[in-house]
A and B are shown apart, each in its own frame.
Chain A
């Protein structure tokens, strides 16, 4: 994993020093060599890689080329923003996706089902950054709301903070909810054909209990899998959404660091994202056991 990330990054034509120089005007060749030496990017690439691996193992995560600060110190304060956004988006996606999926399955092949399916497919088709822009535009046009230019922490003003996060979470969550809707629908349709559901109907159990308690519980496994997979997509979606809504999160910083060729930052953020994805997959595996006692580990 680390090797892949490293190699991909070093393929880049032009390094940090070139970019600094092109923005700063003319600087002599010897100055350029001196800066390259100081940053350690004059050495062979494999030496840089071994260095980076050793640093990671010993907890040193490298210094930002641009800010001359340890990468971790720059990234750490940004994590809560991204995590909050990711969690909020996931909650919105589940709240929006599961019920629509259930309704769509129960009313299979009615016009309501068709409307909901088109609605969810539309969510998959709209770029979340565009949706975000349109939401802002609409709010400005209709209620004269002006988007806060800078990030407001919850301690400063909780209401503004909430609005600031809810809108991008809505834009990202809508997209994620689409997949959840589709999986919920198909999983539920399959479970509803099982014998025990027919038994539940036959003994006169009310429709709500049959669907929500008997059927949905067993239909949840594939849904959880998708939520886990979707989490990785969601982080990808945050990259653009944080940029649109100007939120100082990890994802926006990644874009900036890429444009600056600030490798230590990019490497660390990409590693961080990979770790988050692996952890979310682990969490999904553990949730299986909770939803379906037949699944046992160890």
Chain B
């Protein structure tokens, strides 16, 4: 997992001195153990995120029923040994739908976050490194994109593109671009002025090669912090879009859609319809927020607490 490996780099920075003094390098397991002890909340977040990933991967084994199959006999059934978390108005098993929904949430969340941060990161890298007109134009475009609320932008995008998983991912990634661009650009601006970059120029290395080989790897800390923090909001936006009916289409079980109008209609009679998918969303987002917070404290002391 990328985020765990990142703690290695984080601690490696702190440990440059001891290593130089001949102390043994710390292993991967030790790093994780230290992270857990120093940041118990972050470790809890990591555990929740891990649980989300495991659920998504093992959805086929964990589900007790077919998440899509309707069952006219058992509509709005109470939670029971057969239907752990009850069934919805079409007799679909809520528990199995939540388990499979984890897959949709994770895929949409991770892919849109990655797409948005990579695109935004590239723009930030180039505009920060080269400055001048490229910087000016790209920053103005970012300003415009950032002037709109994330959800409104994603809503308009997703409605314009039409309902499909790819389009939802695209729609959610676009509001992330300016945020990623800002973060990467600001760290590139400071890295650009460092002496080793000057040295690389002195050796006659080309600009593009410096930007990608020498500047880019040093933005990995802020990048990881950014993606973990954005993952939670991407999952939230996906839920909101699906809730409003412009998100992930049928038949994929999506947490947001499970809460949509039909659930609200039956909520009085069958509160489990509303309760459990919402708890699933909250836990997933909560986990990635906790993890993101702890990673930020560890990897990026400048942003501490903000």
Taking beta carbons and an 8 Å cutoff, which residues of A are in contact with B? Answer: 1, 4-5, 8-14, 114, 117-118, 121-122, 124-127, 129-131, 133-134, 136-137, 140-141, 182-183, 185-186, 189, 222, 232-237, 239-240, 243-244, 254-255, 258-259, 266, 270, 273-274, 277-278
> Which residues from B are CB-within-8-Å of A235?
149, 152
Query: Cβ of A244 and Cβ of B264 under 8 Å apart?
Result: yes
| Alpha-carbon distance A273/B283, docked complex (angstroms) | 31
| Alpha-carbon distance A129/B281, docked complex (angstroms) | 12
> Which residues from B are CB-within-8-Å of A239?
149, 151-152, 155, 240, 244
B293 at the interface (CB under 8 A from A): yes
Query: Cβ of B306 and Cβ of A134 under 8 Å apart?
Result: no
Query: Cβ of A121 and Cβ of B286 under 8 Å apart?
Result: yes
| Alpha-carbon distance A182/B289, docked complex (angstroms) | 13
Contact of A273 among B41, B144, B152, B263 (CB under 8 A): B152
Could you jot down 20 A-B contacts, CB within 8 Å?
A114-B41, A121-B289, A125-B286, A126-B278, A127-B236, A127-B239, A127-B240, A127-B278, A127-B282, A130-B277, A134-B278, A137-B267, A222-B306, A232-B148, A233-B150, A239-B151, A239-B155, A270-B156, A274-B147, A274-B148
| Chain B binding surface SS class | helix
- The proximity string for B residues 239-283 relative to A, scoring 1 for CB distances below 8 Å and 0 otherwise, is 110011110000000001001000110011001001101100111
B176 at the interface (CB under 8 A from A): no
Contacts A12-B160, A125-B232: A277 and B305 contacting too (C-beta < 8 A)?
A: no
Known: A130-B274, A130-B282. 11 other contacts (CB 8 A): A124-B285, A125-B232, A125-B285, A130-B277, A134-B278, A189-B305, A232-B148, A237-B151, A239-B152, A243-B244, A277-B147
> Which residues from A are CB-within-8-Å of B156?
5, 8-9, 258, 266, 270
Query: Cβ of B157 and Cβ of A8 under 8 Å apart?
Result: yes
| Alpha-carbon distance A237/B244, docked complex (angstroms) | 12
Cβ distance A243 to chain B, nearest Cβ, rounded Å:
7
> Which residues from B are CB-within-8-Å of A141?
271
- B233's nearest neighbour on chain A, judged by CB, is A124
> Which residues from B are CB-within-8-Å of A273?
148-149, 152
- B158's nearest neighbour on chain A, judged by CB, is A258
> Which residues from A are CB-within-8-Å of B160?
8-12
Cβ distance A231 to chain B, nearest Cβ, rounded Å:
9
> Which residues from A are CB-within-8-Å of B155?
239, 254-255, 258
| Alpha-carbon distance A274/B147, docked complex (angstroms) | 6
Query: Cβ of A137 and Cβ of B271 under 8 Å apart?
Result: yes
> Which residues from B are CB-within-8-Å of A237?
151
Query: Cβ of B289 and Cβ of A1 under 8 Å apart?
Result: no
> Which residues from A are CB-within-8-Å of B240?
127, 129, 239-240
Query: Cβ of A4 and Cβ of B144 under 8 Å apart?
Result: yes
Query: Cβ of B152 and Cβ of A254 under 8 Å apart?
Result: yes
| Alpha-carbon distance A182/B293, docked complex (angstroms) | 11
B290 at the interface (CB under 8 A from A): yes
Q: Which of B152, B263, B264 has the most CB of A within 10 A?
A: B152
Contacts A1-B147, A232-B148: A130 and B161 contacting too (C-beta < 8 A)?
A: no
Contact of B41 among A118, A129, A236, A266 (CB under 8 A): A118
- A235's nearest neighbour on chain B, judged by CB, is B149
> Which residues from A are CB-within-8-Å of B281?
126-127, 130
Contact of B145 among A4, A117, A130, A258 (CB under 8 A): A4
Contacts A4-B145, A122-B286: A137 and B159 contacting too (C-beta < 8 A)?
A: no
- B162's nearest neighbour on chain A, judged by CB, is A13
> Which residues from B are CB-within-8-Å of A124?
232, 285, 289
| Alpha-carbon distance A1/B306, docked complex (angstroms) | 29
- Name the 3 nearest CB pairs between A and B, nearest first: A186-B305, A236-B149, A236-B151
Query: Cβ of A258 and Cβ of B150 under 8 Å apart?
Result: no
Cβ distance B80 to chain A, nearest Cβ, rounded Å:
20
